[in-house]
Amino acid sequence: MTNYDLVVIGTGSGNTIVNRRFADWKVAIVERGTFGGTCLNFGCIPTKMFVHAADVAATPGVSSRYGVDEQLLGVRWTDVRDRIFGRIDPISAGGSEHRHHNPDNANVTVYDGTGRFTGFKELTVDNKDGSTSVFSADRFVIATGSRPIVPPIPGLRETGFHTSNTIMRLDELPRRIAIIGSGFVAAEFAHVFAAFGVEVTIVARSKELLRPEDGAIAARFTEIAQSKYDVRLNHETVRVARRDDGSILVSMLHPDGSDELIVDELLVAVGREPNSDLLDLDATGVEVDHEGRVVVDAYQQTNVDGIYALGDVTNPHQLKHVANHEARVVKHNLLNPDDRIESDHRFVPHAVFSSPQIASVGLTEEQAQERGIPYVAAIQRYADIAYGWAMEDTTGFAKILADADTGQIIGCHVIGPQAPTVIQPVIQAMSFGLDAYTMARGQYWIHPAMPELIENALLKLPLHPES
């Protein structure tokens, strides 16, 4: 049996580990799907490219408030789609080609297939060509990511549906689409399709959209979404069926009775689950938690010495920047086993590229209250800063929370234009221990730019200069 120094399972962030520093290692890489992982092929990058096109398409709908009259003449869906995947697909193919044939990877063997453990540190791969490969390794990196959850709705599989993996490859825009789910995937695709002229209905079991966000953010986003789309809250989908004319009947229950909806396409966006169940981890003794995530320590190592894990298969954040950080930690620890470093998950930011955009880092106000942390909070509206006047934004705001005793920022939440960019200075301040008062007073803030939103929120915090 062939024995490798290192086997990496998954070519998302896991593929970034093996570089020239591993030139004297015997390495195997296993990939069951498409090189590049979810972010490149199905997630972060293509969705945000669609979102930008949607932002452009939505501009005429609001331009009149500035005294500019514009019209959207049409959306060439296939042109939008092909521009995006015309850039992404070659990158994925190039990544595969590089690993398979580039001389720099002479020490790397690529297995195109599904791997599963069949013994202690022994992997069996069912290759796409029908063959089977069995090998062992001293070290493994599990980076298999996650996949969309398919809920057990009667009739769903028979009717046919889309997930975030397939919805962007449609051949034509539907007239009507239902999105089952209330999270960030639902929010982003609702914006995309509505901006392109599709009638969008969001079916949510919860009482509001984006519930994990700070309460004020979730409430504001739900209010705005209800003005843009058909949002059916507290609705549970109980059955779907294909009608004779090809349309889809969605049957729902809500507290006051039943409801029905007829659409042309159905997007299921109720969450994601880790791909750990595909690996038969029991065979090698690797532990998973009650949600199927691989359990790791601060060094990203599992309970089995020499087996590491990173990304969606092990952490609940499901964010590319987190997976990349963990990959850097794993790479260092593989190369420096006597001088290992720990992952830093203290201040993990995230963003929702919806309309409006949302960004968040740290604790929500509800979490601070639940944990009994003494805090002060302040809210600054876009409408009350000069650039907000220019944009005529009347709904966006930033909320900042700080420790009442130390002045250290413990959370920040923004809803409004360019929220993921506006929040970045706060992430930096939290990461490097800069207190709110010093952050506000100890630097210049460009006037009249959008970061003044953060400056003014900081200045509103009831903190002492000594804090």
What is the set of active-site residues? 447
Q: Is 133 annotated as a binding residue?
A: no
Q: Is 195 annotated as a binding residue?
A: no
Residue with tokens 């200075």, as numbered in its chain: 425
Question: Which one, of 449, 450, 225, lies nearest residue 356 by Cα?
Answer: 225
Q: Rounded to an integer, what distance in angstroms lies between the CA atom of residue 86 and that of residue 259?
A: 41
| Paired tokens of 459 | 């200045």
Q: Is 115 annotated as a binding residue?
A: yes
Q: Is 193 annotated as a binding residue?
A: no
Q: Is 183 annotated as a binding residue?
A: yes
Q: Is 271 annotated as a binding residue?
A: yes
Q: How many CB atoms lie within 10 A of CB 237?
A: 26
Q: How far is CA 272 from CA 20, 214, 302, 311, 450, in A?
A: 34, 21, 22, 13, 34
Q: Is 270 annotated as a binding residue?
A: no
Q: Is 187 annotated as a binding residue?
A: yes
Q: Is 246 annotated as a binding residue?
A: no
Residue with tokens 């580990």, as numbered in its chain: 17
Q: Is 130 annotated as a binding residue?
A: no
Q: Is 182 annotated as a binding residue?
A: yes
| Paired tokens of 125 | 């791969």
| Sign of the CA dihedral running 66, 68, 73, 75 | negative
| Sign of the CA dihedral running 299, 302, 304, 308 | negative
Q: Is 438 annotated as a binding residue?
A: no
Q: Is 184 annotated as a binding residue?
A: yes
Q: How far is CA 256 from CA 233, 234, 303, in A?
A: 12, 10, 49
Confirm if 146 and 279 have CB atoms less than 8 A apart: no
Q: Rounded to an integer, what distance in angstroms lies between the CA atom of residue 330 and that of residue 343?
A: 9
Q: Is 64 annotated as a binding residue?
A: no
Which residues are part of a known binding site? 48, 115, 144-146, 181-188, 271, 312
Which parts are annotated binding residues for NAD(+)? 181-188, 271
Binding site feature residues for FAD: 48, 115, 144-146, 312
